[in-house]
Structure 1
Amino acid sequence: QGISLTPDILMVAENAPLILSLHKELDAIREGSNAGLRIGTTKRGIGPAYEDKVGRRAIRVMDLAEPDSLKEKIDRLLLHHNALRRGLGIGEVEGQVIFEELMAVADQILPYMGQVWALLDDHRKQGKRILFEGAQGALLDNDHGTYPFVTSSNTVAGQAAAGSGLGPGAIDYVLGITKAYTTRVGEGPFPTEQENEMGQFLGEKGNEFGVVTGRKRRCGWFDAVLVRQSVRTSGIDGIALTKLDVLDGLDEIKVCTAYELDGHKIDFFPASMGAQARVKPLYETLEGWKDTTAGAKSWAQLPAQAVKYVRYIEELIGSPVALLSTSPEREDTILVHDPFHD
């Protein structure tokens, strides 16, 4: 993108755990196994690396600056991993191999190392704007998501404070981002999934392929139950509703407003894996619109039924729409509330 990365503009937290080659290998072996549950990971080693972090045996950025003690930490790490590898029937890893891998990149990484928590706090006290961007959806949260089909960390908004070291009181506004329909990458429950022509239509028109892996996304109708629950678990102040233009031209549009579970109507997404698989969506059907929303930059440029759809979603999820996106272009956005406004 024409940006030159230097330590002046990029800092890596000294306490950040490192993803090693053995993490990636273990991730791929587990996901490719015919035994057990398939989670649908990206096979990038993130899960195994988090396991080591929680198990207090991770190799962290700061360890690269202390090669004399690094070998001892690697030996402790391999005491766990080589036992796993023996159980899986694969060869053990030599500590010297990991040490050489780390030393090969140490000089590239260490210039960027610093105390991120201190830098952020200094900027906050100076009145500077700070933006945290979540890497994954709230429903992939290890505690509040579709467990076990989740990532290995917390992804709700509160993690911005815990992960960065900036206190929770410093967060002024939480903007939730959701599409005008629902998508998911990988395995796991998806109550409103459309495994039919409608799902195909949404996927093709919305160009639904995963950013990281290029995997085809599963598509379905807007699930107000899931979004409403995410609004509550992340303390969301406003929603950025994207891809409204994908729904252009449909005769009717369905919105999931509640679930049926074992013959009972519920207004939440259950935590149990079995219950998540059994819920059935209950829909309200809205009239679609034939005029285009693409490129609209004000409410006045939207078809009346599109405005009605957005207002209905606001009512169902308990949060106002702060931004409305009507095309892939950044300029085609209706800004209702500026999250950075004092």
Structure 2
Amino acid sequence: MTGTPRRWADEHAIVVDLGFGDAGKGVTVDLLCVRRRFGAVVRANGGAQAAHNVVAPDGRHHTFAQFGAGTLAPGGPVPTHLSRFVVVDPFALAAEAGHLASLGVRDPFALVTVDRRALISTPWHQAVNRARERARGAERHGSCGMGVGETMAYALARPEDAPTAGDCAHPARLRRKLNRLAEYAGRGEDFPDVEECLLTYRAFADRVRLVDERYLPELLAASPVVFEGAQGVLLDEWHGFHPHTTWSTTTTANPLALLAEAGQQGAARRVGVVRTYTTRHGAGPLVTEDPGLGAVLTERHNGTHPWQGAFRVGHLDLVAHRYALEATGGVDTLVVTHADAPDRMRAATGAEPRWCTGYVDADGAPLRIAPGAVPDLGRQERLTAALLAARPVLSAMPDGPAAAIGDALGVPVEAVFSGPTREDARTTWARESRAVAAHGGALG
């Protein structure tokens, strides 16, 4: 493969999923935090609907939602910063902290700083979100049902009433906002009591460290950080296939904006993550979908979700991943996960693994896709309609799938995972492999 990755030096890292999510951002962040020490993992978009699975070599497993996926690093937990772009759910954060404590992480809340400007998602947002999704019936968007999109929509419509993390330290102000939110949502028998919620939110404010806009620039100046993205570029609020998208910027735009605000424009390595096959949760286009692959490539930590729907599997979609690369402005290196999947496909079906090199429309004419101007959701909706009718052009995947994917996408491969843990990863740099081993993890 042509191209050589830049040396790691003292750069920040940005981890972005070049698919529909679930590609392996968690294990990638875990590996990066073992390879070297970072001052923090900075969450740069999304909220509690993120689900980044990390399995430690000793068998401990955690699904990271709001905590950064460097929390189980063997050299000691890497702190988490929830930036102003994150939608914070204090109830879900408390549950996640409890599970991390059961895995041996001491005082997980002490690891967390939160930008006071970050919106908080509440049970009222969640209830309205679920009601809207139920009302769509067969036209569901594929929401996670966690209220993140509803939180964003409410803040856009009523910015003065939108609860923030900083409000949690000011009960009177938060009470006023929650009462207005409860009136907006309507009364339901499952809705909590405002006063009870205030107790939880006050406890949240007491346990985590709430910070202002000066904190992150100081952190970025003090040490490199990893920006951990949520969801995938193909679900981006502007570039994704509307309306089956998230209310979140899933490209590298948010981390780059935070770096620019701190006077560190572009001072980061952008790491894209892809599988050796393409997946998505729930409704929306998946041009290469093959139910037969789904039966072969079952996953312990991904299945049917009560709100999103089924976990869908398709052949590796080079067209979609090239679109994602263009939408996010490119990446510097790739991490390829599930490198063992092509052999499992071959053993189970007797057929050679395939990948998609093009699309054709309903008439058999070539269909080309490219990101458009932002914002233009009408264009994205028309693109969605075209993709729902499109068919893939499939050919045999070359031997050595990870290297072949790097060549096909024109990006050097930094690491390859053939299993779920950091010990199942192989990096391209022997020097860094020795550094990992020195921290207690062998890369095979």
Give TM-score scaled by structure 1 length.
0.79
Shift of 1:218: 0.7
Q: Secondary structure at the match of 1:236?
A: coil
Q: Residues 124, 239 of structure 1: CA spacing in aligned structure 2 closer, same or farther, 3 A cutoff?
A: same
Partner of 2:416: 324
Contact 1:11-1:116 at 8 Å conserved across structures: no
Partner of 1:296: none
**How many residues matched?**
309
**Which amino acid in the other structure matches residue 187 of structure 1?**
A
Q: Does 1:178 align with 2:280?
A: no
Contact 2:283-2:309 at 8 Å conserved across structures: no
Residue deviations 1:117-155 (CA, integer Å, cap 9, x gap): 4333213222x1200111211111111112110111111
Superposition RMSD in Å? 3.1
Cα distance in 2 for partners of 1:91, 1:209 equals 31
Q: Residues 189, 337 of structure 1: CA spacing in aligned structure 2 closer, same or farther, 3 A cutoff?
A: farther
Residue deviations 1:18-61 (CA, integer Å, cap 9, x gap): 11111111122222225572012121111111112222131111
**Greater Rg over alpha carbons, structure:** 1
Q: How does 1:1-342 map to 2 (within 5 A)?
A: 1-5=103-107, 8-33=110-135, 35=137, 37-55=139-157, 56=159, 57-78=161-182, 81-82=184-185, 85=186, 97-115=193-211, 117-126=213-222, 128-162=223-257, 169-195=265-291, 197-202=292-297, 204=298, 206-207=299-300, 209-210=302-303, 216-234=310-328, 235-248=330-343, 250=346, 251-263=351-363, 264-268=365-369, 271=380, 272=382, 273-286=384-397, 305-306=399-400, 309-336=401-428
Contact 2:171-2:202 at 8 Å conserved across structures: no
Q: Secondary structure at the match of 2:265?
A: helix
Structure with bigger RCO (C-alpha 8 Å, 6+ apart)? 2
Unaligned runs of 5+ residues in structure 2 are 1-102, 372-379, 434-444
Residue deviations 1:136-177 (CA, integer Å, cap 9, x gap): 111111111121101111111212244786567154111111
Cα distance in 1 for partners of 2:153, 2:342 equals 41
Q: Residues 44, 7 of structure 1: CA spacing in aligned structure 2 closer, same or farther, 3 A cutoff?
A: closer
Contact 2:322-2:409 at 8 Å conserved across structures: yes
Partner of 2:8: none
Contact 1:185-1:215 at 8 Å conserved across structures: yes
Q: Residues 323, 19 of structure 1: CA spacing in aligned structure 2 closer, same or farther, 3 A cutoff?
A: same
Q: Residues 109, 275 of structure 1: CA spacing in aligned structure 2 closer, same or farther, 3 A cutoff?
A: same
Shift of 1:312: 3.0
Cα distance in 2 for partners of 1:61, 1:115 equals 10
Cα distance in 1 for partners of 2:246, 2:354 equals 29
Unaligned runs of 5+ residues in structure 1 are 288-304
**Which amino acid in the other structure matches residue 268 of structure 1?**
I
Give TM-score scaled by structure 2 length.
0.62
Percent identical: 25
